[in-house]
Amino acid sequence: MKKFRPGDKVIKNKDTWVATEFDLWGRGIGIGVVVEPPFPMGSSDCDVKWKGGRCFEDISQLLHHERKITRIARKFKIWIWKFLKG
């Protein structure tokens, strides 16, 4: 079973990241999305679409992206919920 599935959002794991020449065009910058690879891959690899393009990545160099909600957004979400509830 793979650690990441197509559609998962990922970020680079700064502790295990191995830089390559592809880092120059944006590999590992920001949030990447795991996509369906064009051919079968090993269980330790996945295809990730970064802002600068796609790259095959070793899953040990990736972490799941956890969306952070700011305090303001959280308060607004609670306010909307109370407003809709009546």
Count each helix (H run) and each strand (E run) in the chain, helices first: 1, 5
Within-domain flag for 43: yes
Q: In the prediction, which pLDDT does 6 show?
A: 94
**Span 38-54, pLDDT tens digits:** 999 988 999 999 998 99
Within-domain flag for 25: yes
Residue 76, token pair as written in the block: 């607004």
The domain in which residue 59 lies consists of 9-85
User: Phi and psi of 72, rounded to 5°?
Assistant: -65, -45
Count structural domains, the chain: 1
Cα torsion 73, 31, 33, 54 to 10°: value is 160
Residue ranges in the chain whose pLDDT is less than 50: 1
Q: In the prediction, which pLDDT does 66 show?
A: 81
Within-domain flag for 19: yes
What single letter denotes the amino acid at residue 6?
P
Q: In the prediction, which pLDDT does 55 show?
A: 95
